[in-house]
Amino acid sequence: MQDDQTLSNRSTEGMVDYNAHSSAQQSMVANHAATIRKLVQNIGPVRPEFRIADYGCGPGLSTINVARSAIEAYREVEGDGPVAVCHLDQPGNDWNTLFTLLCGPEGYLEGRTCIRAEAAVGSFYDRMVSDESVNLATCFAASHWLSHAVHLDAPGSIWFADLQGEARRKMATLARSDWVRFLQLRAQELRPGGHLLVSTLGSVPDADEANGAAASGRGIYRAIQAAAQSMADEGLLDKASLDRFVFALWFQTEKDARDPIESDPVLSKAFEIKEVSVKPAPANADDVFGALIGDPAAYARKYTGYMRAFADTTLRTQLFGPAANDVEEADSLAEEFYRRFEALYREHPGKYRFELWNLTVVLRKRP
Ligand SMILES: C[S@@+](CC[C@H](N)C(=O)[O-])C[C@H]1O[C@@H](n2cnc3c(N)ncnc32)[C@H](O)[C@@H]1O
């Protein structure tokens, strides 16, 4: 298959069967339901409407739960005052599923009045809504995706945490400038007094790691590396593509997240920091799917489903497509890859476990 048919410049291409495999993301939102309520109360009544914007909303349940928490809190603040919920994501998001869900029994429209649901399509590394139009901005499990696909000279590592030397420096520079850009754009879109809540996967200092930090999900990415490397070693994947492929993501430490907000002149002027923290997830932080470890086959299936949901389109575009002559061949390579990945979890339960440290950033736009 030709590169120009298969390679994309996007950092992530969309989620596969996402609602069935996003329990980890849904827990992140559930854990912040109280934060959302508190932020809505702090913002108080607004005119002409209270506008929530959920950036990187994805196709369903998580963004619906974000909206529901905010709407319920606003109803306590201001009876039936008008509320607008804007769901923001890339063109490839499964918008049909999202709007079907939010109008149905699991949604937040049924039985309520004075609520407007809308979508904004694009990248959160660009302006997505108009100036000073958002009261509460949220972004769950999305801001770790960088602004574009990354190709580096990085044999032996498919993710940022194991990069070394020049490759690591380049990736760190991109991650920092993307974070600054993301926040500067939100500073323009938030109303004075509005709040931004970012919650995603983080990293914590760890002297035993090559780069001095343990990143969430390190087991998963190392299992992806092992499965892909074994296929490249057998000539099933293109070794040159694998050596240059790196997931375009970065899980920040508290310092990564905080430093630019304090030192960038635009950001320090725009935002008051309410919280920047990285903490173990409230439940199952040591192995997110550890409840299933007694049944290795189920444990392995859960991990494969979770990984496939966030990685499938990226891997197809960057690895399977370039090694295949047609779509059928790319499909077979994908199936072989998932078979190997699942076997790693079934045969070594716990070795590639998903450890989870949550990054939380809460900022208030200065009046
Ligand atoms: C793991 S999903 C999270 C979805 C949802 N927020 C949740 O918590 O379940 C990440 C989402 O971020 C979106 N995303 C990634 N990069 C983006 C960008 N630059 N602009 C807008 N959305 C983006 C993806 O399309 C995807 O829907």
Q: Tell me the backbone φ, ψ of residue 325, rounded to 5 degrees.
A: -90, -25
Atom index in ligand 1 nearest the CA of residue 59 equals 27
The answer to whether residue 313 scores a pLDDT higher than 50 is: yes
CATH code for the structural domain at 3-365 = 3.40.50.150
Find out whether the beta carbon of 31 lies less than 6 Å from any atom of ligand 1. no
**Does residue 142 have its Cβ closer than 6 Å to ligand 1?**
yes
CA of 89 to the centre of ligand 1 (A): 6
Over the chain, what is the mean pLDDT?
93
Q: Is the CB of 19 under 6 A from ligand 1?
A: no
Smallest CA-to-CA distance from 201 within 136, 91, 87, 278 is with: 278
Please name the residue ranges forming H helices in 95-203: 95-103, 165-189
- Res. 15: pLDDT tops 80: no
pLDDT tier for residue 18 given thresholds of 50, 70 and 90 = low
Amino acid at 103: C
Query: How confident is the model over 169-210, as pLDDT tens digits?
Result: 999 999 999 999 999 999 999 999 999 999 999 999 999 999
Through-space distance between the first and last CA atoms of the chain, rounded to whole angstroms: 53
pLDDT value, residue 3? 33
Q: Tell me phi and psi for residue 94, to 5 degrees.
A: -85, 80
Does any ligand 1 atom lie closer than 6 A to the CB of residue 53? no
CA distances from 197 to 92, 329, 346 (A): 24, 42, 37
Ligand 1: residue of 26, 89, 317 to mutate (most ligand atoms within 8 A of CB) is: 89
Element (H, E) at 269: helix 265-270
Q: 60 pLDDT band (50/70/90 cuts)?
A: confident
pLDDT at 105: 93
**Rg of the chain (C-alpha set):** 21
Residues 146-179 have pLDDT tens digits of 999 888 999 999 999 999 999 999 999 999 999 9
Scored b (16 or more CB within 10 A) or e, 23-56 reads: bbbbbbbeebbebbbbbbeebeebeebbbbbbbb
Q: Is the CB of 93 under 6 A from ligand 1?
A: yes
According to the model, what pLDDT value does residue 277 have? 98
pTM: 0.93
In angstroms, the CA 198 to CA 35 distance is 11
Query: With bands split at pLDDT 50, 70 and 90, how would you rate the model's confidence at 137?
Result: very high
User: What pLDDT does residue 6 have?
Assistant: 36
Does residue 123 have its Cβ closer than 6 Å to ligand 1? yes
Beta bridge partners of 277: 360
State how far the Cα of 32 lies from the Cα of 66, in Å rounded to an integer: 9
Distance of alpha carbon 53 from alpha carbon 33, whole angstroms: 15
Q: What's the pLDDT score for residue 155?
A: 93
Instruction: For ligand 1, say whether the CB of 337 is within 6 Å of any of its atoms.
Output: no
